[in-house]
Amino acid sequence: MGRAPGNAVGTRRGVIGVATDHAIEAVRLAWGTAYDLGFADGAWHACRLDGDGTLITGTTPDELNEAIQADRAAR
């Protein structure tokens, strides 16, 4: 779906960019087998790999993780 902000090739990232990378990787480890995750239009997105459901969004990896947890709990 795209790169996270601050991940352009040849740019130097600060602490927030590195922390975001670690956070989204943790979300991918937890949910990557059930959801396709990415970043676009200023937000993190997830959609179920089984095609059942709507697009889930969060402005941070933590918000996305919470939204995915809510989606899973609703099923």
DSSP string, 43-75: EEEEEETTS-S--EEESSHHHHHHHHHHHHHT-
What pLDDT shows up at residue 17? 60
Tell me the average confidence (pLDDT) per consecutive run of 10 residues in the chain, 75 residues long. 48 57 92 95 95 93 95 91
Span 40-57, pLDDT tens digits: 999 999 999 999 889 999
What is the C-alpha to C-alpha distance for residues 61 and 68, in angstroms, rounded to an integer? 10
Q: How far apart, in whole angstroms, are the C-alpha atoms of residue 48 and residue 19?
A: 25
Q: With contact defined as beta carbons under 8 Å apart, do 25 and 62 qualify? A: no
pTM attached to this predicted model: 0.73
pLDDT on residue 9 = 47
